[in-house]
Amino acid sequence: MKILMEEPCLLKESQLLLSDVTLEELRTLVGPRDQILKIIEETFQQSLTLYDQTFFIKGDPAGQAGVKRAILALLTRIRQNPSLDLQEAATLIKLAKENRQEEFLSAYSQSLGQNQSGRLISAKTVGQKTFINAMQTKDIVFVIGPAGTGKTFLTLAYAVQLLKTKKINRIVLTRPVVEAGESLGFLPGDIREKVDPYLQPLYDALNQLLGSQTVEKYLESKVIEIVPLAYMRGRTLADCFVILDEAQNATSTQIKMFLTRLGEHSKMVINGDITQIDLRDPRESGLARAKAILGEIAEIAFVTLTATDVVRHPLVQKIIEAYGSFEESRHGSDHTPKSQK
């Protein structure tokens, strides 16, 4: 992106004037080291030049309208919340190319409060909005998606919001512990010390949302309880939000056991990534079968997130898509007749 020192009177590019934009909004819009503008240029195959409050757009005329949509959508998003990371920007630009930017802006307007540092928590993709809507309207929600799609963090954010507004009394977090040759019973420490290494992602998310001191206080008073899935048998969980994380490593029997713990005035979220099953026999994963078994129950929601919902580093989305393509090609070759292999 080139910032001109003189007004380009003789240029004939398409122009977009942002007459009411502030300098701070412009800085956020172009991104650090002009990275957001570079994403726009790459997405639409256009050249962008900024002078004062005007963008000059040069390239195929068919792409210029999309560039304008992207810039205006980014400005709208910035005015909803001044902070804007590269992944959000890339997602919004991609949707603007498909003339679907309003889906993102509508999703972002749905807030789950603030994290410990005061940053707004909200859906950043259309898929995440669907997930939040499901949690708000259903008592049991299954969400399946790759790493980085916000499954665990959004679930905890919504649970914390319900806890703060006194709509629930407790948050119960559980996760299957897939052992690697060593039984938990022989590890030192109490239950929490034994399973902490497996549950660290949950602690990380809770610390972002509440702060480490509050989390520790809630753990001591059991307002927040973190237990391995094996310890859920025989319990009835009322007035609480119950989360089964990494459910791809739970069997159908374990998921059935977990679901039948649901008590009055409680909600459950079951999340996982069926491409990262650590069971010795991946066919035993109960998450992969759940929709076939429970899909006809109207009160249970199933949400699928994809690589387009990844909200980590933009490179993560490309990595997931690359592995997906590799797996598809490998499975395709598996169907080749043996005589041709």
For residues 117 and 97, state if they share a domain: no
Least confident window among 12-16, 23-27, 249-253, 274-278: 12-16
For residues 273-295, one letter each, b for 16 or more C-beta atoms within 10 angstroms of the residue's C-beta and e for the rest, the string is bbeebeeeeeebbbbbebeeebe
64 and 89 both lie in a single domain: yes
Least confident of 76-80, 279-283, 294-298, 325-329: 325-329
- Pair 46, 58: CB distance under 8 Å: yes
User: What pLDDT, on the 0 to 100 scale, is given for residue 69?
Assistant: 94
Query: Looking at residue 325, what is its pLDDT?
Result: 80
Q: HSE on the CB side for 65, CA within 13 Å?
A: 4
Write down the pLDDT at residue 80: 82
Q: pLDDT class for 166, splitting at 50, 70, 90? A: very high
CATH number at residue 77: 3.30.1370.10
CB 135 within 8 A of CB 155: yes
Does residue 1 fall inside a structural domain?
no
Return the minimum-mean-pLDDT range out of 67-71, 216-220, 230-234, 325-329: 325-329
Name the CA dihedral angle for 181, 182, 184, 188, rounded to a multiple of 10 degrees: -160
CA pair distance 248, 144, nearest whole angstrom: 9
How far does CA 127 lie from the centroid of its chain?
8
CA angle (316 as vertex; 110, 95 as ends), nearest 5: 45
Per-residue pLDDT averaged across 165-174, rounded?
94
User: Does residue 210 lie within any of the structural domains?
Assistant: yes
Q: Specify whether 72 is located in the same domain as 125.
A: no
For 312, left (φ over 0), alpha (ψ -120 to 50), or beta? beta
Q: Over the stretch 31-45, which tens digit does the pLDDT of each residue have?
A: 999 999 999 999 999
In total, the chain counts a number of residues equal to 341
Same domain membership, residue 225 and residue 146: yes
**Side chain identity at residue 197, one-letter code:** P
Query: Residue 267 falls within a domain, yes or no?
Result: yes
Q: Which residues face 114 on adjacent strands?
A: 120
In the chain, the number of structural domains is 2
Encoded tokens for 34: 């002009």
* Residue 15 within any structural domain of the chain: yes
Domain-embedded: residue 333: no
**For residue 216, what is the domain's CATH number?**
3.40.50.300
Q: Within this chain, do residues 101 and 116 fall inside the same structural domain, yes or no?
A: no
State the pLDDT at residue 141. Answer: 97
- Most confident stretch, 129-138, 169-178, 279-288, 318-327: 129-138
Q: Does residue 132 belong to any structural domain of this protein?
A: yes
Q: What are phi and psi of 48, to 5 degrees?
A: -115, 135
Q: Which of 273, 305, 287 is nearest to 149 (CA)?
A: 305
Q: How far apart are alpha carbons 74 and 96 in whole angstroms?
A: 10
Q: Determine the average pLDDT of the residues in 291-304.
A: 93
Mean pLDDT is lowest, of 137-141, 151-155, 317-321, for 317-321
Residues 100 and 123 in one domain: no
pLDDT at 56 over 60: yes
Residues 140 and 134: their CA atoms lie apart, in Å, by: 9
| pLDDT score of 90 | 87
Q: Map residue 142 onto helix, strand or coil.
A: strand
Tokens 């004062």, located at residue: 52
Q: Are 143 and 300 in contact (CB under 8 A)?
A: no
Reply yes or no on whether the pLDDT at 127 is more than 80.
yes
Is residue 301 predicted with pLDDT exceeding 60? yes
Whole-number pLDDT of residue 12:
46
**Per-residue confidence band for 223, with pLDDT thresholds at 50, 70 and 90:** very high
pLDDT at 237 over 70: yes
Six token digits for residue 126: 């259309």
Q: CA-CA distance, 109 to 289, in Å (whole number)?
A: 34
Most confident segment among 53-67, 76-90, 101-115: 53-67
Q: If residue 82 lies in a helix (H) or strand (E), which one and from where to where?
A: none
Residues 189, 304 within the same domain: yes
- Considering the domain architecture, whether residues 236 and 261 belong to the same structural domain is answered as yes
Mean pLDDT of 233-238: 89
pLDDT at 11 over 50: no
Whether the pLDDT of residue 318 is over 80: the answer is no
| 223, 284: one domain | yes
C-alpha dist (Å) from residue 118 to 78, 107, 113: 16, 19, 9
Residue 7 has pLDDT above 70, yes or no: no
Is 197's pLDDT higher than 60? yes
First to last CA, the chain: 51
Indicate if the pLDDT at residue 305 is higher than 60: yes
Helix (H) or strand (E) holding 288: helix 286-294
Residue 39, domain extent: 8-108
Residue 225 lies in a domain: yes
Is 324 inside a domain boundary?
Answer: no
Sign, CA torsion 19/25/31/32: positive
Q: Are residues 52 and 197 in the same domain?
A: no
Residues 150 and 202 in one domain: yes
**pLDDT, position 70:** 94
If asked whether residues 214 and 72 sit together in one domain, one would say no
